[in-house]
Structure 1
Amino acid sequence: MPIIRVDLFEGRSVDQKKAIVKELSEGLARTAGCSVQAVEVLITDHSKDDWGFGGVTARDKFPD
């Protein structure tokens, strides 16, 4: 069973997450030759304060 892990900054809506799961599942199933039902997608939301780039937090690099 293929597993796709997606790490994102928080803020996506439930509908956006549903679309992400659908698109990734269908694409992997098509490419890998497995069923869509076999694909698992794990979405993890992260605060910009919990992610860093080059010594600064993502909030500092990408302010709202």
Structure 2
Amino acid sequence: MADCQTGFFNSGENDAKAYALYIKKYGTEKYTERIFSIINKGYDYPRSFKDINDIDKILGIFEMEKY
């Protein structure tokens, strides 16, 4: 999925790829929990991640605390 260049994943918005990879690995419930946790830690979601635009860095932030 990280190398997918089809449809929306061809837009250059790598934050979407990072979200999709996270959801694939952990599921939508954990993704939703993580979003709230990230916002509570002071990240401006989704703007901060659009600015980062790096799959590995975004996943690193999402996976700071493993489930």
Q: TM-score, normalised by structure 1?
A: 0.32
More strand by share: 1
Q: Greater CA radius of gyration, 1 or 2?
A: 1
Structure (1/2) with the larger helix percentage: 2
